[in-house]
Every structure is written in structure tokens, then in C-alpha cells.
Structure 1
Amino acid sequence: MTTTLPYEEFRSLHRPGAPLLLPNAWDHASAAALLAAGFRAVGTTSLGVAAAAGLPDGTGATRAETVGLARGLARLDALISVDIEGGFSDDPSEVAAVAVELAEAGAVGVNIEDGRADGTLRDAGHQGEILAAVREAVGGRLFINARTDTRWLRGARCQGQTADRLAGYRQAGADGVFVPGLRDLRMINELTSALGDTPLNVLHASEGPAMAELAEAGVGRVSCGSLLFRAALGAAVTAVRSVADGTPQAEGIPSYAEAQALAGGFA
């Protein structure tokens, strides 16, 4: 009997026209709760991991926390993709070493971005070298999702680099490409046509497009990013205000026993 490897299973979930909805967790309990809710694949959110540790996001400060979380999530019967910001280094060999640690920890995917802490983009050629080093180190073990922040940064010049950067990252060995902030359906259609069988990942936005529209446009993956972490923070404040005001709590809050079960019920 042929056994499908976790990497291969995760890759197969990226189907243009029937996109993978990837929720993003920030600790073991949030990942386990998403798994219990029926999500086979779960990503991590760099903002959630950083903020939970009292550290800034996007500055390369959470290498230890990110790798440690990935090792802990290996207890879960889930497909875990890890957001490593820009790789925690500008040295391709050091970024590749992080990817190897994640693969050995049991992760099946990694997200690597070209945005820098100062609000600029990493040189596209250098980003390609980083992606190529990761591909050489973990090819066939990790789904490499190459993120470009051209739509995150302001200015038409950055936005005009999107297609060229995606093409370069694809050539460097990326399995998929990610453009957070991309909401223009016309551009999404153009990119999915140009990318062929390389899945395009977009970030969910409350302003749209909706999942059905993204599927029709050929998107292969839709990420939640930091949305769930931020929603959890908001829900916590709402709950304590309900205590103070003497108003009913919102429905759907897990019981103590249900939360306790998340500690080890899915290994």
C-alpha cells in the first residue's frame, strides 16, 4: 500500500479553483482547536507568535519561539506550515538551516517573505538566492511559500514588481507564491494565468474578494494571517467587560474540560 507523505498531502491541498483555506495559529492550544474544528492544515502567524512573546513582528526576533512552537505542534496530527518572516537572517545558508530545523521538527511548509523591517523590499536576486538555498536543503520535505510584500508597501513602483518577483521566486524553487494585500480580481486572474500550476496564495480581507470569487479566479490558497489571533484578543476583552457589566457572555466559549483536552487529545 502506498503511503502519502505529509508534504505531498499538503501540496495536494493547493488546488487552483478550489483553494485551501489555511487558518493561522499562534500556540499549541489554538492549533489544536483548529484541528478539532476540522482543519487538517494549519499555518502559524508571525504576529501572533511575536506578540504572545512580547516581541515585535517582522524584525527577526522570534527564531527560537518559532522553531520551539513548530516542535510542539509536531504532537498534533496536522499539516503545519510555519511563517518565518524573512528567514531570521539575510544569509541564505542560515535561512536554510532554519528550514532544516522545521522539517526535522515535522513541519510540512514554510513561508518566507521579502519585506524588511525598515519597510523596504529585500533585493529580488538575493531573495531568490535564499529560496534556492532552502530548496536545496529541504526540497521534497517542505512546501516553500514565497511571499512578496509589493502590495503591503505603498507606492506604484513596488506594486509593479509583483509579477517579476513571483516569476523569479518560482524559478528559484518556490512551490507556491503569496501576495498579501492583493484584492484586485483582474490582477489575481492575470497572475494565476501566468503562474500556471504554481498556486497563488492571497490573504483573506474582510473587504473581499470572497472565497467563491477567489476560487473562480484560480487562487490555490487563502490564508487568515493574524486575523484569528486578533479576534481572540478582542474576544478576551469582550468577555471581561461582560463580567464587569453583568451582561451575558458570548456563545461558543469552550468549557474548562474542552480547553484542557486541547493539551494532548490529538497526538
Structure 2
Amino acid sequence: MGTDRYDAFRDLHHRDRPLLLPNAWDHAVGAALVDAGFPAVGTTSLGVAAAAGKSDATGGTLEETMTLAWNLARLPVPVTVDIEGGFSDRPAEVGRLVAELASYGVAGVNIEDGRADGTLAPVEHQVAVIEAVKAAAPRVFLNARTDTFWLAHPSDLAETLRRVSAYAAAGADGVFVPGIAGDADIRAVVEEVPVPLNVLHLPGRTDTARLTDLGVRRISCGSLLYRAALRAAVATALEVAGHPGDVPVPAYGDVQRLVGGR
């Protein structure tokens, strides 16, 4: 790549426009996205899990995630990997996991505080995880995700600000708040933390120009590409069968149900 992957990835968060990050679930998709000109590629935990017939966010896809990371790291762009909650409750083990990913050439990781039962991990635990990761792998861009908006926490903004502030202070390189969309909420987070804010693309609710003006530095596609691919597969099969129709993009919950999850 001509430069350190961590530096290259970090620099993509400080340009005139936010980094639009597409999320892959296998090597071919990642390679195709690079071929299309995207300067970085992420992974989608839903896509990785569902492709393996497993539920998302339950910590059951460590092997699949590491295999995908090993393969994607061969791409000529920075790669960031969604490791859910870290695949362990022990901060030191999460740190060792990220250090292994760094040895593959992975530039970043995404670590979330949401849990499979719909609760949020204690802030103190997440802070310990972030500190352990940055101690074990300081040259990996740690994107600390809080699921306050995603899980409809009763005090979304107040709890979000408390968490992202703590995560940034613990050493996170960026913070991710999926589900946040309102101007006032986004502006409050941007003003609160000194690290780049990542938001999730929400069709019909987020606009790149508006997010740029608000100070958002990264926009993730999340599971959208995987879900759109499922739609395309079904629509194509129906067309071949002579039964074309309007096939909607399945929602996150629809995919979870397909693989027997919640």
C-alpha cells in the first residue's frame, strides 16, 4: 500500500467528505468493492453469521470472522473487521484477538457494547476492553460502537454522550452510533468527542451532504449490501422461474429469522 495501513485508514477519516465504508461478508465481495474504487472495506457481522447459518451478535462466529479477516487483509486497501463484542468477556483476551488481526494486516476493528439479550455492557467493562485492545494493538483503528440508539435506550442521547466520551477517553480512535439520524443528536455527539463519528447509512433518513455538514467522518453500509444481495438472489431466481415480482430488501430481523435467530 505504500504506507502503514493504520495511518492510511486513519487519514480516510479526515478528508473533505466522510469515508463511505461498504461492508463485505466474503472475499469476492470485498475484492469487487475494491475493484469498484472504494478506498477501504469493512465486514458485516450479520452477513458473516447468516452466510454460515448462524445468528448475529451472539459471539458464535469467531472462526468465520478470523478466516474472512485473513483473506480480506490481502486486499490492497485498509480493512476493518466487525468483531461484535470481542468474542470474549475478558478484556485481555479481546486484546490478544485484535493483536492477531493486526498480524494479518487488518487496519481496524469495530467493537460494540450491545449484547444479544438487548442490554448494554457496563461502561466500565467497555473501557477496560478498549484499554486492553489499544495496549495490545496500538496500530489498529478501534471504532467503539454504542448501541444506545440501536436498542432504543430510554435516554438515547444522554447515555450515548456518556458512553462515547468514556470510550474516546479510553483510547478509541473513533466512535460509532448506529441508528442516530437527527441533526441535533449527531451535532451533540460531534461536539462531545474529539474523535471521528461513524454513523450507519439509513435509507431515506441519512444524506451524505447533510452528514458532511454536521461533521460526520464515516458512513457505514452495515448489513445493507448483504440484505440487498439476498433480495437480488431471490428476485433473479423468480425471474428465471417465470414469476418476476417486487421482492423487498429483507430487514435485519428477517435475516435473523431465516437462520433461526431472534
The TM-score normalised by the length of structure 1 is: 0.88
1:175 equivalent to 2:186? Answer: no
- Aligned to 2:241, the other structure's residue is in SS state helix
Question: Which residue matches 1:127?
Answer: 126
Question: CA RMSD for the aligned pairs?
Answer: 1.5
1:225 CA displacement: 0.1
Task: State the AA in 2 paired with 1:15.
Answer: H
Partners of 1:16 and 1:215 in 2: CA distance:
10
Is contact 2:145-2:176 (8 Å) kept? yes
1:172 CA displacement: 0.8
- Aligned to 2:169, the other structure's residue is in SS state helix
Structure 1 ranges of 4+ moved more than 6 A: none
Question: Which residue matches 2:227?
Answer: 230
Deviations 1:214-236 (A, max 9, x none): 00000010000000000000000
1:213 aligned residue (210, 213, 217) = 210
Question: Which residue matches 1:257?
Answer: none
Task: State the AA in 2 paired with 1:113.
Answer: E
Percent identity among equivalent residues?
55
Is contact 1:66-1:84 (8 Å) kept? yes
1:43 equivalent to 2:39? Answer: no
- Aligned to 2:155, the other structure's residue is in SS state helix
Question: Which residue matches 1:136?
Answer: 135
Is contact 2:157-2:185 (8 Å) kept? no
2:200 aligned residue (203, 206, 213) = 203
- Aligned to 2:33, the other structure's residue is in SS state helix
Higher relative contact order (CA 8 A, sep 6+): 1
Question: Which residue matches 2:68?
Answer: 69
Which residues in structure 2 correspond to 1:152-167 (within 5 Å)? 152-167=150-165
Q: Which has the larger radius of gyration?
A: 1
Deviations 1:32-72 (A, max 9, x none): 11000001200000000000011110000001110111111
Task: State the AA in 1 paired with 2:116.
Answer: A
Q: Which moved more, 1:60-69 or 1:11-20?
A: 11-20
Is contact 2:196-2:218 (8 Å) kept? yes
Deviations 1:48-97 (A, max 9, x none): 00000111100000011101111111222121000000000110011111
Partners of 1:134 and 1:94 in 2: CA distance:
9
Partners of 1:166 and 1:246 in 2: CA distance:
49
Is contact 1:16-1:199 (8 Å) kept? no
Partners of 2:112 and 2:16 in 1: CA distance:
24
Partners of 1:13 and 1:181 in 2: CA distance:
22
Task: State the AA in 1 paired with 2:30.
Answer: A
Partners of 1:89 and 1:64 in 2: CA distance:
13
Q: Which moved more, 1:21-30 or 1:67-76?
A: 67-76
Partners of 2:240 and 2:211 in 1: CA distance:
40
Which residues in structure 2 correspond to 1:45-60 (within 5 Å)? 45-60=44-59
Question: Which residue matches 2:258?
Answer: none
- Aligned to 1:160, the other structure's residue is in SS state helix
1:189/1:159 CA distance change after superposition, 3 Å: closer
Is contact 2:146-2:163 (8 Å) kept? yes
Question: Which residue matches 1:30?
Answer: 29
Structure 1 residue ranges without an equivalent (≥5): 248-267
Task: State the AA in 2 paired with 1:166.
Answer: V
Question: Which residue matches 2:256?
Answer: none
Structure 2 residue ranges without an equivalent (≥5): 245-262
1:158 CA displacement: 4.7
Question: Which residue matches 1:260?
Answer: none
1:151 CA displacement: 0.3
- Aligned to 1:182, the other structure's residue is in SS state coil
Is contact 1:17-1:216 (8 Å) kept? no
